[in-house]
Structure 1
Amino acid sequence: MIKIELVRADHAPALLAFERANREYFAASVPDRGDHFFTEYAERHAALLSRQEEGTDWFHVLLDGDAVVGRVNLVEANDGSAELGYRIAESATGRGLATWAVGEVVELARGYGLRELRAKTTADNLASRKVLTRAGFTETGELEISGAPGFGYVLAL
């Protein structure tokens, strides 16, 4: 059974393994994070936890037992609005996990006091666009994501 938890310090090794195992898969649809992401992971994880403690970001991990199969994050909270982003392991795709997890985190966002969520995805990531639409997001227009065409989305809570 899949469960969602706020990221903790002890999730770091499993999250790093998740990112490494899925790096090539993720890079096929979103800009690659680069080698520095992996070599500086411990410092980055600690910084994320600090932002979570400050209440500006919420990082959620999707666990199947002890294995990370995805993450859904709410970042850059400001004036009741935050940006939603997510990643699902290649081995867990095609089962509705992304749609379910985004829906769950939308509900959690209400509890965090957020009133609006923003999201973006590349134009060629049709699966992500469908997930956002199913979760109630509305397309706001075209934008550029690391040099690639994309779309912005918004959801009023």
Structure 2
Amino acid sequence: MDSRTARLGLHAIDELEARRIHDRAPQPGDAWAADYPFEGDLPATGSFLRATEQNGEQRPFGYYQIRRQSDRLAIGGVGFEGPPDGGVVEIGYGLVPSARGHGYATEALGTVVQIAAGLGVTTIRADTDLDNVASQRTLEHAGFHQVEADSKLCHYEVKVQTS
């Protein structure tokens, strides 16, 4: 379930890895950036752990740790918020502050779109806070289009060409 790009590796974590990330308790062999995990990784891995407890194995529709190829350090995560429902999935993502601004999130999102396409997903949705312009631009660079906005969030989606 792992995927690679020129600059990144996306690693589909298991329950033990999720627990270490959630507890901020790296073990020997875990290579994490100094600011990993960041605040966004904690609720994401918490949701992954709850879903695993309730429904069993989450992969391939779980959480992927984003690792930089150049130094193999974990710099963030991207994940599905559950299996497809009628061909539709929702995702979330984030990077540690030290890794932002290099196009890594766009690259990771593109990889998740490819993973989803290979699994028969037809639509991927994501949302951002109204004031999170950087995240909105990231989604747009990854091919997502804003479909709605409400008083708190901008909602995006991308239609997927399944393989």
**TM-score, with structure 2 as normaliser:** 0.71
**d(CA) in 1 for partners of 2:159 and 2:62?**
18
Match of 1:99 in 2: 106
Q: How does 1:66-85 map to 2 (within 5 A)?
A: 67-76=73-82, 77-85=84-92
How many percent identity over aligned positions?
A: 24
Which is helix-richer, 1 or 2? 1
Match of 2:133 among 112, 126, 129: 126
Asked if 1:8 corresponds to 2:11, the answer is no
Q: CA deviation at 1:21?
A: 5.0
Local SS of the residue matching 2:101: coil
- String of CA shifts for 1:30-80, please: whole Å, max 9, x gaps: xxx7xxx5xx95xx5543445572568321111245642111111232111
Change (3 A) 1:67 1:52: farther
Match of 2:38 in 1: 22
What letter matches 1:89 in structure 2?
V
Change (3 A) 1:63 1:20: closer
Local SS of the residue matching 2:143: coil
Match of 1:138 in 2: 145
Asked if 1:156 corresponds to 2:159, the answer is yes
Match of 2:66 in 1: 62
RMSD: 3.0
Q: CA deviation at 1:138?
A: 1.1
Local SS of the residue matching 2:57: helix
CA contact (8 A) 1:3 1:62 kept: yes
Change (3 A) 1:8 1:110: same
Match of 1:30 in 2: none
Gaps in structure 1 of 5+ consecutive residues? 27-32
CA contact (8 A) 2:65 2:76 kept: yes
Q: CA deviation at 1:91?
A: 1.1
CA contact (8 A) 2:123 2:158 kept: yes
**d(CA) in 1 for partners of 2:93 and 2:123?**
17
- Aligned pair count reads 139
CA contact (8 A) 2:48 2:62 kept: no
